[in-house]
Amino acid sequence: MSSGTTDDETILRGVLDQWKAAVDAHEPDRVAALFTEDAVFQGLHPYSTGRPGVADYYDSQPLGMTADYRFLETRRLADDLVLGYLDVEFSFTDRPTIAVYLGVLLRREDEDWHIGHYQVSRLG
């Protein structure tokens, strides 16, 4: 159950729907463009900073990988910062689905929102 506002979820969904579409299409540069220039990114491999690390990470993922997400929590931390905590399932064509928790921090830059921090946790 999200305890943020509908506006916060709308902001997050606007970026994360684009993220999902780019992940599903295996377009790593399109994924990376959704991040800030100095983003801290932690997938299931060692962390990186900046868009090149994000692009490399998603380029290394297998073709056919898709992502589905649902919000667990949202928070407006400041006028230009929105936090999202999500349940995400990454599905593959040739292996079991991986379920993770994802924390993202979106930052408004001019009129656009970008992911400034991305942290995956795999429990269990």
Distance CA 13, CA 60 (A): 25
Q: Tens of pLDDT along 33-74?
A: 999 999 999 999 889 999 999 999 999 999 999 999 999 999
pTM above 0.85, yes or no: yes
Distance CA 6, CA 37 (A): 27
What whole-number percentage of the chain has pLDDT above 70? 95
